Amino acid sequence: MFHYVHLNFLQRVGVLVVVNSDNSLQQYTIGWIGAGRMGYPMAKRLLENGYDVSIYNRTRSKAEPLEEFGGKIVNTPSELGDRDIVFTMVSTSDDLVAVTFGDNGLLTGSSVPRLLVECSSVSEEASAQVRSQAAGIGVDMLASPVSGNGKVVKAGKLTIVSSGPKAAFDMAEPYLNAIGRGVTYVGEGELARMVKICHNLLLGVYTQCLAEITVLAEKGGVSRNAFLDFINNSVMGAMFSRYKTPTFVNLDMTPTFTPELLRKDLDLGLKAGESLGVPLPVTQLTRDMVQATIDAGHSGRDFAVLLEEQAKASGLELKSENVEVSDGL
């Protein structure tokens, strides 16, 4: 619950706060751009929490099932200009620029939202460009990238890191918390982008390392299921290792995150390292392994296919162990 002093603070810095007769905060209207693997379940969580959400997706038919949960589908991003807060979850930096300032872009019409919350994994440069242009027309922006995939969203365990004006964060925080299980505010500007880049470098390095040691254990005579069960229950276990265990054990490579997307994020991290003078030798090696996986024809599969390439390099033929394994969610 917001206290009176906090409401006064928000009002002083220019955030519209409407208090209902029962002293509860009035809901803002929400716009959503992007209904893919991540955007669809994230928007759905807002709808399931009773929020007023209008949705745009490039392929309208992919967003239309959200109408069942109360969502309103629009045909262009500019039609969301009358919303108070608009979230974006798109694939690339170019997509972000296109949906905000391209033809019929969100911020090109006579009506624009008060706040843009950008949740995609895009470059700091693209994020800063959109932030600057948005500020020029009086729109605040939060960079709010996420940790998790669609299944994690559905389980209510998505985490979010956010940066931008603190008053804007206070405005968006209830909605961010409705999407996931927690949001961390790290400061002004693009700091959340740096956190997400570092997060995804760890994702790549961790997955490659997990692939290597799992293959080593199996070639030494230990089943993948037994080895990962031990790891998951040890001090080295993590939410991520538990989540990937069914994939490693039963070899279902239905994509949650592809090698191509991981390569994009590793490239962003390596670029940041070069810019800041931070050597990243292990990240570079991981990037090389991901590229080799793509070159081997694994495009479009789950990035856990790194396990298959490691086994191939080790002279090990992998077979599904066909056992029921929990993903920890």
DSSP 137-162: TT-EEEE--EES-HHHHHTT--EEEE
Domain that holds residue 292: 194-313
* Same domain for 50 and 161: yes
Question: Residue 151: what pLDDT?
Answer: 87
Count up the domains in the chain and report the number: 2
Pick the closest to residue 146 from 175, 95, 183, 115 (CA basis): 183
* Same domain for 62 and 139: yes
Helix ranges (DSSP H) in the chain? 4-12, 39-48, 60-63, 93-101, 124-136, 150-154, 166-179, 191-219, 224-233, 239-250, 259-276, 281-295, 306-313
Is 177 part of any domain? yes
Is 122 part of any domain? yes
Q: Is the dihedral of CA 182, 186, 188, 189 positive or negative?
A: negative
Measured CA to CA, the distance from residue 85 to residue 77 in angstroms comes to 13
* Same domain for 151 and 219: no
Question: Residue 6: what pLDDT?
Answer: 40
CATH of the domain at 15: 3.40.50.720
pLDDT in tens, 253-267: 998 889 998 998 899
Where does a domain end: 144, 170, 189?
189
* Same domain for 199 and 170: no
Question: Residue 257: what pLDDT?
Answer: 86
* Same domain for 213 and 139: no
pLDDT in tens, 283-299: 999 999 999 999 999 99
Rounded to two decimals, the pTM is 0.81
Which residue numbers in the chain have pLDDT < 70? 1-26
* Same domain for 107 and 235: no
Is 322 part of any domain? no
Where does a domain end: 152, 174, 189?
189
CATH of the domain at 214: 1.10.1040.10
Is 320 part of any domain? no
Measured CA to CA, the distance from residue 62 to residue 40 in angstroms comes to 8
* Same domain for 167 and 255: no
* Same domain for 226 and 162: no
Enter the DSSP assignment of 251.
-
Phi-psi region of 318 (alpha: psi -120 to 50; beta: other; left: phi over 0): beta
